[in-house]
Structure 1
Amino acid sequence: MALNKSIKYFLAVAKHGNIKRASDELYISQPSLTAAIKKLESEMGAPLFNRLSKGVELTAYGLKFREFAQEQQEHYFALKHQFNDMQQRQFGKVKIGTGEVWWEGFVKRSVMDYQAIHPASSFHLEFGNNLSLLHHLIQGDIDLFIGHEVSDLSESCRVAFQPLFQDFEALYVSNRHPLATGITNNGVISDYPLLRVTPNHPRHQSVLLNGLPHDELLDERIIYDVDSVMASIDMLHITQAVMPYSHRAQEWLTRHDLVAIHLDDEKIGNIGIYTKQGEAKRNVDELIELLKSNADIAYANVNSL
């Protein structure tokens, strides 16, 4: 399948505003391109270009047709990408979503083990937060993702969750932070800026039954939203912010000169593997077994701070 020639030709002329330059880009003769544009205008029943002494410009009809043509082009390339993705998966490609802490904890080990068993296999790795990865899973962009269980999922989200282990919410600061001396009074903690790692975005809230919650207590607090764990670590050293994050990451974050100052054992989360319902695949199932095994090994003795 090729993008309709009329659309391709039209977009080239619209981009350059010049038949000669467009014909050079398309590797066709100028008369052939001119004839193709005239035929398109005849089919549409309206002039798409005004002919000028030094080129052409879009008419009101042409501007409208350009919107249509660009949409068709985008759909075409998206479809090509989907076809390529389907072919890659037929050859064993696995598309995984994960958070950076789980990648460091046990997902990387699982990918290594899978690669050792299937040396010709390939992977696509998507890093993000729960809602963004849920969105990618529902859209079919990934086969599975590892993250926290979401309790307020929309009924339209046909996904399955396999629990692996639990975690608590800890608060991390730079080892040079005033609170690193051991002060853990909640009132004192709330006086410092809050750093939210890979925060949820409103564009992904469609996966939630009741949308994103609003915390009025945060309205007047300084907040840093950072879409990268590594950048968040840097921000903790640059500022005096406090970062809520999984207590399972304590050993890893300690190596980056962060200190866990508080553990909230009432904020318990379930971490597991999300997959789409009714889409069992042998290679995905095999990877899931490796993820379960390596998660057990990684966190067998990590239950608290």
Structure 2
Amino acid sequence: MAINKSLKYFLAVAKHGNIKRASDELYISQPSLTSAIKKLEAEMGAPLFNRLSKGVELTPYGQRFRAFAQEQQEQYFSLKHQFSDMQQRQFGKIKIGTGEVWWEGFVKQSVKDYQTLNPASSFHLEFGNNLSLLNHLTMGDIDLFIGHEVLELSEDCRVSFQPLFQDFESIYVSNKHPLSRSTPSPDLINNYPLLRVTPNHPRHQTVLANGLPHDDLLEERIIYDVDSVLASIDMLHMTQAVMPYSHRAETWLSGLGLSTCYTDKTKVGNIGIYTKLGETKSTVSEFVTLLKQHAQNLV
């Protein structure tokens, strides 16, 4: 693109403040680069650089143009990446979002089986919580994700949910935690710091009709917010925090030194597969079939 070349030349000169160093980086001659910059200034109708004895510096016009040029280049490279991604999807690439507990439970085996059936296939795997993955699904960044059903979605969030099974909320602690050797009451559990693994972020609440709920009781409690399950496990071993998580993770987490001290069977969640409405790619449909088959092992 001609505009991209002009922006590339301008940004190189702005970065180095020197025509020679910029021309060396761009592998073009100094006269050619100087001519290109002068042509760009003529097109813009304003001087972008002040010529100094040992180089150049941006004028106020140049400073404004640099912000524009950087934004345009970022959009250009983003668009190229999107085009490349679209081409890869045409050849069978699937972009999947999942939580780590579901990856361990049945998604990993589904990916393995899909690759056996489609050796030339490629995958993009993204881990996160429900709201972040919902946001990426609606933006077209992923094709599907596996997670809990989200209630009170915004009308603009046009997605489909296929339920697989249910789970309960369990409280996990380190095997060395005082609560690991007892059956504590909810009130006793609330006396300990709360570890929220992959918590929701306000920036993703646009997928909700009424935004994130506010819990006044949490304001007086010590809270650790951790965006990684493995780091959360480390934090549980380092502190006396308690971690709410799916009871389906009990076998996996017990092998990592955690214990279940309480399970609340009144807190029921629906786990399933989210896809965008109106999009039925054969590759995605095939993978969803495998997910449903392997999810039966958890029921």
- TM-score norm. by structure 2 comes to 0.98
Conserved? CA contact 1:3–1:76, under 8 Å: no
- Secondary structure, aligned partner of 1:102: helix
Partner of 1:82: 82
The alpha-carbon deviation at position 183 of structure 1 amounts to 3.7
CA distance, structure 1, for counterparts of residue 113 and residue 89 of structure 2: 19
Partner of 2:57: 57
- Structure 1 contact 153–209 (Cα < 8 Å) conserved: yes
Distance 1:17 1:164, change over 3 A: same
Alignment partner, residue 131 of structure 2: 131
Letter in 1 for 2:119: P
How far is the alpha carbon of 1:2 from its aligned partner?
6.3
Residue 163 of structure 2 is aligned to residue 163 of structure 1: yes
Per the alignment, residue 198 of structure 2 pairs with 198
2:183 and 2:262 in contact (8 A); partners too? no
1:251 aligns with 2:251: yes
Alignment-mate amino acid for residue 127 of structure 2: F
- Deviation string for 1:43-66 (max 9, x for gaps)? 111111111111111111111101
| 1:155-234 equivalences in 2 (<5 Å) | 155-234=155-234
Residue deviations 1:227-262, cap 9 Å, x none?
Answer: 010111111000000000000000100101100011
* Structure 1 residues 181 and 226, CA gap change in structure 2 (3 angstroms): same
How far does residue 174 in structure 1 lie from its aligned partner after superposition? 0.3
1:96 maps to amino acid: I
Measured in 2, the distance between the counterparts of 1:99 and 1:13 equals: 45
Structure 1: tracts of 5 or more residues without a match:
301-305
Change (3 A) 1:20 1:225: same
Partner of 1:303: none
Aligned-pair distance for 1:3?
Answer: 5.4
For 1:182-217, what per-residue CA distance to the aligned partner results, in whole angstroms no more than 9, with x for missing partners? 141222111110000000111111111111111100
Task: Please give the root-mean-square deviation of Cα atoms over the aligned residues, in Å.
Answer: 0.9
**Secondary structure at the counterpart of residue 4 of structure 1:** helix
The number of aligned residues is 299
1:20 partner letter: K
TM-score (normalizing by structure 1): 0.96
Structure 2 counterpart of 1:18: 18
Find the counterpart in structure 2 of residue 117 from structure 1. Answer: 117
- Counterpart in 2 of 1:72? 72
The Cα of 1:179 is off from its aligned counterpart by 0.6
